Structure 1
Amino acid sequence: MELLELLRTQNGLVSHGQARGLGMSPAAIGRRLGAEEWIEVHPRVYRSASHELTPRASLRAAALWAGDGATLIGAAGAAWWNLTDHHPDTVALAVGAGGGHSPPAGIRTVRRTVGDLARVKVDGVWVAHRADTAPEAAVSLGLLEGARLLDRALQQERVGLPALRKALEAMGQRHGVVLARRLVALAEGGARSEAERRAHRRLARARITGWTANLPVDLPGLGRAVLDIAFPEHRIAIEIDGWAFHRDVDRFRRDALRQNEVVIGGWRVIRVTWYDLQEKPDYLVDVVVRALCASAAA
């Protein structure tokens, strides 16, 4: 591989060892650095001045500094897998129980061994498998953003709940395992149940009455359905959704057909998600009050 091709495939980056492997002498490397054609990103890792240091390039630069024995983990690994749009300020790399030099700024080394079967080379960089990366990364982002990351991971066909459970077990008593357990429990279906309980509490605290949980209704051609929260007198229904992972194409189509029949039957339907109830605590009460007022004025 020629130098220009290597730079093109590596986000404009090259390590000292790679440059030497392509036949460049230390003096030639020094001349490029002196002329500012190359810029040192980390010790012995260089960026061509014609390339920007993008977030992805920052991840690759850390991996080049650490070498092939290191593995991107946590939020850095999740970003490399495109499981999150959040790129960490500090890139974490597992370097083995006894490996690693003192890392430069922007890099954190973790003395953890990632076996060959637990990592894979993606676009030239060694990274922990998606399922192993996702829970640790989710914990580093906190409950809400961590939930988004796991939800996104589960929507990818190669990550499943069994793999997440296995990764959770492998965490042992590592820092963040309590939050990781909660996130996996939410992923397994607990998000919808938690959202329902939270919605009930919000309505009760706001002293909103006249609603019924899990009201059965008969829908033409679809049989009996259950409305999550219903105001029968006003024909207002609140439908609660958990995570997107649980709404595959078939489920989405069934829910759409079901909602159409509910609306045709004279109900106004309000949809809220676990994310809505987490991010906007007052949203449910506000939208219900407005819907009730609109109904009374009709």
Structure 2
Amino acid sequence: MELLDLLRTQDGLVRHDQALALGMSPAAIWRRVEAGEWLEIHPRVYLSATHDLTPRARLRAAALWAGDGATLIGLAGAAWWHLTDLAPETVAVAVGRGGGHSPPEGIRAVRRDVGDAARVKLDEVWVAHRADAALEAAAGLGLLEGARLLDRALQQERVAVPSLRRALERMGQRHGVVLARRLVALAEGGARSEAERDAHRQLRRARISGWTANLPVDLPGPGRAVLDIAFPEHRIAIEIDGWAFHRDVDRFRRDGLRQNEVVIGGWRVIRVTWYDLHENPGYLADVLRRALAASAAA
């Protein structure tokens, strides 16, 4: 391979030993650095001045510095898999329990063994398997941002729930496993039931009464429906959604038809999601009070 080809395939980056293997001498490498043609991004890792240090180039530069025995993990791994647009401020690489030098600024060397069965070479960079990278990244981002990452990945069929469950088992007792366990439970279908419980708690905390959970109502079109939360006196219904992953096209269509019939039946419908309840805990009580006030004034 020619040098220009290597630079093209490596986002404008080249490692010292790669340049030597292509026939360059240490003096020739040093002359390019001195002339500003190559910029030393990390020790012995150079970026051609004709290329930008893009977010993807930052990830590759860290991998080049760490060597083939290292693996991109966590948010860095998820970004390499294109599971997120979030660029990690510090690129995490697993370097083995006994390997690796002190990392330069911008790289975090994690003393963890990642066997060949748990990683894959993608675009010439070793990275943790997709589900493992996604789950560790999600746990590191926190509940809300982690949920968004996994929800999008599941919607796009980039990861599957069974693979997340296996990734959770491989985490063992590592830092972040408690949140990872909760995220997997939400992905498996627990988001909607958790949202329902949160909605009940928020209504009680706001001292809003007059509601019934899971109220069955008879509708002329689809027959009997069950309203998640209902205020029968005011004919106001709260419908609760979990993660978007669980609403495929067919279910989305059925929910829309069902909601139309509920509205035709004389109910006002308020939809809230798991995200609404967690991001803005005061939203449900606020919108409901306004709906109740409008009903009373009608």
- Shared topology, TM-score over 0.5? yes
- 2:20 matched to which residue of 1? 20
Deviation at 1:158, TM superposition (A): 4.5
What is the TM-score of this pair, normalised by structure 1?
Answer: 0.94
CA distance in structure 1 between the partners assigned to 2:172 and 2:128 by the alignment: 17
- 2:211 matched to which residue of 1? 211
**Which sits farther off after the overlay, 91-100 or 195-204?**
91-100
Match for 2:45: what amino acid? Answer: V
Match for 2:22: what amino acid? Answer: L
- 2:222 matched to which residue of 1? 222
- 1:282 matched to which residue of 2? 282
Deviation at 1:23, TM superposition (A): 2.4
The 5 Å alignment of 1:120-269 reads: 120-269=120-269
Deviation at 1:222, TM superposition (A): 2.2
Task: Verify the 8 A CA contact 2:211 2:230 in the aligned structure 1.
Answer: yes
Match for 1:121: what amino acid? Answer: K
Deviation at 1:284, TM superposition (A): 0.5
- 1:273 matched to which residue of 2? 273
Unaligned runs of 5+ in 1: none
Deviation at 1:70, TM superposition (A): 1.0
| Runs of 4+ displaced beyond 6 Å | none
Q: What is the CA deviation profile of residues 157-178 of structure 1, one whole-angstrom value per residue up to 9, with x for unaligned ones?
A: 2422222122112111111211
CA distance in structure 1 between the partners assigned to 2:135 and 2:60 by the alignment: 22
Deviation at 1:265, TM superposition (A): 2.1
Q: Report the identity percentage.
A: 83
CA distance in structure 1 between the partners assigned to 2:71 and 2:97 by the alignment: 13
Match for 2:161: what amino acid? Answer: L
Equivalenced residue count is 298
CA distance in structure 1 between the partners assigned to 2:249 and 2:240 by the alignment: 18
- 2:103 matched to which residue of 1? 103
- 1:66 matched to which residue of 2? 66
Q: What is the CA deviation profile of residues 79-106 of structure 1, one whole-angstrom value per residue up to 9, with x for unaligned ones?
A: 2112222222111111223221221111
What is the TM-score of this pair, normalised by structure 2?
Answer: 0.94
Task: Verify the 8 A CA contact 2:83 2:158 in the aligned structure 1.
Answer: no
Deviation at 1:7, TM superposition (A): 2.2
CA distance in structure 2 between the partners assigned to 1:148 and 1:62 by the alignment: 26
| RMSD of aligned Cα (Å) | 1.6
Deviation at 1:72, TM superposition (A): 0.5
